[in-house]
A and B are shown apart, each in its own frame.
Chain A
């Protein structure tokens, strides 16, 4: 009696399970059917579209930030993408996860015969340097660093091209703009890690504020960086957004209303803190933050570093047989660095301030005014 009921329970459970299984199968099949009904392509369509650069291979190795760092790795990868699209060349990419990955990644590029291997960031310098010396017939490039010898002095290689940026020129203009736009009389900046390619932004920014104070006899304070002592606020890495948020909240509590984070994705933390506080704006760096982040409505402007263009140009030159190891230095003059449009704040920036900034820009380009930084390349 009891057994019978148990059996029937078991049976019903089996039936249920069967139903469930068939229902799952049905759903899976219909999903497949909906997604998989496309036409098969023609068989012979495989070899099309090979351009003249087909036997040229451009390769790129990231640092530990990876390709989606919303900063220089991403920009460099975009440069490679554009080159591949325009020139029809082959590509290979390797993402590094730690410092011990650099040398093997560069080596695997050399092993597969990359015509040019680009590395992103100063940490790749030694790996690229060694590979360049061991393979004089291949070309190499490094973004955001020069090549250096064992003591850290600049060294020149015949087959290695440094791609560097004099970002101080552009961040000087950003500092001037910030000083002109602040309502509280206090602006701020902070960096990710204290390295020359970061502090050069901060040097220019602080000098720009200083210039504004001199021109207008004002007293705008710039927090977060002391150019003379080369000391200031740093979040400690390029990953920890909450650290950027905490630093920004501190600046806001000290009355700062325009903040320039020079810390890659950590800047997103700064932006979210700025959004919380009414009237606080940020100045983005590297790319145009109005487009690359979700915080367009508080991005006053961006200090842009055209890494993608520089990478693409370097590859294009090499494909055309015009490789030169001479360093590429991005400046205001060659538009390797620059200030992004004001976007939403177009109407808020006073015309005379904007004119003065354009004037300063001309002066820097003509050499009448030099922006100095210990980190100038």
Chain B
């Protein structure tokens, strides 16, 4: 009855295997690896080097897109120094702006402005971490959940509507709106899980289709005056009640809010769930080998349904954090490309809760820094996307990074 389709198993195998290497390199069964060798074959070094290569690739593009560099190239032979100076200036300016926008702005006019970038990075990383955790949970359980986008949108719809439609005392209202977002996401994830568990429908296909349905659902709802609760004809909802907003963690000009606390709590919860609970053990067992898990008495269908519901709930929480925290109103683009960015975050985090948290912080910092980089140096914002993509590409293929830097293969698990 709970037949899993062959594609459903092979697709998720890649990220799971990639993440498995992290443990392999550290196990002591190998014949006394030297410290140096241990460091050089470690998975974290691969991550760091991937980020370095990504930034390097970005640097080449930044230089190539810059008109000054192009101008100096035209007289390269009469004064080559100009060319290299122009490259250095362009690239260093762009990356310094990226850093100033993401961490600390030493050129700012006030202290507030100087420390704001770091808080903006945390704001940008909040939904990425939450949705990324949902995707990571799916990866670990052998499910390739592409439906983060739809689940984020449903979470935002539920949280937003409960946030502005109801009138409740502060605190209670916020909790109810957040819970509504969790339920919305869980329903959307649960549909895919149920279809997979009951009928064996491929979760990749089902979740992609559910993304489209969610996108048109929010477009339809925002056309309806009863849903929008505003008189203007623009497809955007009324602002969320103050009582339902996630409370700010810092005073007014800063946008950092309790959504980030939710991300921290969710990371701890997912870690506990996967590493410490019986249910999480079942998840991982099904992820490693569903046939063996079934033989061991685990109901694969039940696990599939629960995993998809929790994954959906986490993505729904990301949507709730967006609408109740930073955006304060529903628009058609409330989901942005969060659901897909979350996949890259989970990949970079190797599907580990803490790894996903750190990857979310990194991508959040890229996002926040990208605004400053684009606005102050005129660097195309697409460069950020290229850098992120190169990083994930390399993370997904550790042997490639080792080949580039001639690193030794990890000991213990055999070279691949």
Chain A interfacial positions (CB closer than 8 Å to B): 32-33, 35-41, 59, 64, 92-95, 97-101, 103-105, 107-109, 111-112, 122-123, 126, 134, 145, 148, 150-153, 193-196, 199, 236, 374-375
How far is it, in angstroms, between the C-alpha of A123 and the C-alpha of B82 when the chains are bound? 43
Contact for B372 among A108, A193, A195, A199, CB less than 8 A: A108
Q: Which of B27-35, B275-283, B291-299, B374-382 contacts A (4 or more CB under 8 A)?
A: B374-382
Shortest Cβ distance from B254 into chain A, in angstroms?
11
**What residues of A have a CB within 8 angstroms of the CB of B77 in the complex?**
32-33, 36-37
Residue of B nearest to A41 (CB): B75
Q: A36-B73, A36-B74, A108-B101 are in contact. List 5 more A-B contacts (CB 8 A).
A: A32-B77, A40-B78, A93-B378, A108-B374, A150-B238
**What residues of B have a CB within 8 angstroms of the CB of A109 in the complex?**
375
Q: Which of B11-19, B52-60, B329-337, B354-362 contacts A (4 or more CB under 8 A)?
A: B329-337
Report the count of interface residues on B (CB-CB < 8 A).
48
Contact for B223 among A59, A99, A107, A194, CB less than 8 A: A194
How far is it, in angstroms, between the C-alpha of A123 and the C-alpha of B77 when the chains are bound? 49
**What residues of B have a CB within 8 angstroms of the CB of A134 in the complex?**
253
Contact for B327 among A99, A108, A196, CB less than 8 A: A99
Asked if B233 and A374 make an inter-chain contact with CB atoms under 8 angstroms apart, the answer reads yes
**What residues of A have a CB within 8 angstroms of the CB of B253 in the complex?**
134
How far is it, in angstroms, between the C-alpha of A122 and the C-alpha of B380 when the chains are bound? 24
**What residues of B have a CB within 8 angstroms of the CB of A123 in the complex?**
236, 331, 333
Residue of A nearest to B376 (CB): A112
Asked if B326 and A100 make an inter-chain contact with CB atoms under 8 angstroms apart, the answer reads yes
**What residues of B have a CB within 8 angstroms of the CB of A39 in the complex?**
75, 78
Report B214-229 CB contacts with A as 1/0, cut-off 8 Å: 0010010001000000
Asked if A59 and B233 make an inter-chain contact with CB atoms under 8 angstroms apart, the answer reads no
Contact for A153 among B231, B234, B236, B368, CB less than 8 A: B231
Question: Is B322 part of the contact surface with A, judged by Cβ < 8 Å?
Answer: yes
How far is it, in angstroms, between the C-alpha of A95 and the C-alpha of B373 when the chains are bound? 11
Contact for B75 among A36, A95, A103, A122, CB less than 8 A: A36
**What residues of A have a CB within 8 angstroms of the CB of B75 in the complex?**
36-41
**What residues of A have a CB within 8 angstroms of the CB of B78 in the complex?**
37-40
Asked if B336 and A99 make an inter-chain contact with CB atoms under 8 angstroms apart, the answer reads yes
Asked if A108 and B375 make an inter-chain contact with CB atoms under 8 angstroms apart, the answer reads yes
Asked if A236 and B219 make an inter-chain contact with CB atoms under 8 angstroms apart, the answer reads yes
Asked if B231 and A103 make an inter-chain contact with CB atoms under 8 angstroms apart, the answer reads no
How far is it, in angstroms, between the C-alpha of A152 and the C-alpha of B164 when the chains are bound? 14
Chain A CB count within 10 A is highest, among B73, B78, B231, B371, for: B371
The 9 A-B pairs with the shortest beta carbon distances in the complex, nearest first, are A98-B336, A152-B232, A36-B76, A152-B230, A99-B333, A38-B75, A108-B375, A40-B79, A38-B74
Pairs A–B under 8 Å by Cβ, sample size 5: A35-B74, A98-B333, A112-B375, A151-B238, A199-B233
How far is it, in angstroms, between the C-alpha of A59 and the C-alpha of B113 when the chains are bound? 19
Contact for A152 among B82, B231, B333, B371, CB less than 8 A: B231
How far is it, in angstroms, between the C-alpha of A35 and the C-alpha of B232 when the chains are bound? 56
**What residues of B have a CB within 8 angstroms of the CB of A122 in the complex?**
234, 236
Residue of A nearest to B341 (CB): A98
**What residues of A have a CB within 8 angstroms of the CB of B223 in the complex?**
194
**What residues of B have a CB within 8 angstroms of the CB of A375 in the complex?**
233
**What residues of A have a CB within 8 angstroms of the CB of B378 in the complex?**
92-93
**What residues of A have a CB within 8 angstroms of the CB of B105 in the complex?**
111
How far is it, in angstroms, between the C-alpha of A93 and the C-alpha of B371 when the chains are bound? 10
Contact for A100 among B113, B239, B322, CB less than 8 A: B322
How far is it, in angstroms, between the C-alpha of A108 and the C-alpha of B101 when the chains are bound? 9
Chain B CB count within 10 A is highest, among A99, A145, A196, for: A99
Contact for B234 among A37, A92, A93, A195, CB less than 8 A: A195
**What residues of A have a CB within 8 angstroms of the CB of B255 in the complex?**
103
Asked if B376 and A95 make an inter-chain contact with CB atoms under 8 angstroms apart, the answer reads no
**What residues of B have a CB within 8 angstroms of the CB of A37 in the complex?**
75, 77-78
**What residues of B have a CB within 8 angstroms of the CB of A199 in the complex?**
233
Question: Is B203 part of the contact surface with A, judged by Cβ < 8 Å?
Answer: no
Asked if A35 and B73 make an inter-chain contact with CB atoms under 8 angstroms apart, the answer reads yes
With contact pairs A38-B75, A39-B78 given, residues A111 and B108 touching in the complex (Cβ less than 8 Å) = yes
How far is it, in angstroms, between the C-alpha of A76 and the C-alpha of B352 when the chains are bound? 45
**What residues of A have a CB within 8 angstroms of the CB of B216 in the complex?**
236
**What residues of A have a CB within 8 angstroms of the CB of B329 in the complex?**
126
Chain A CB count within 10 A is highest, among B233, B235, B368, for: B233
How far is it, in angstroms, between the C-alpha of A99 and the C-alpha of B378 when the chains are bound? 20
Residue of A nearest to B237 (CB): A152
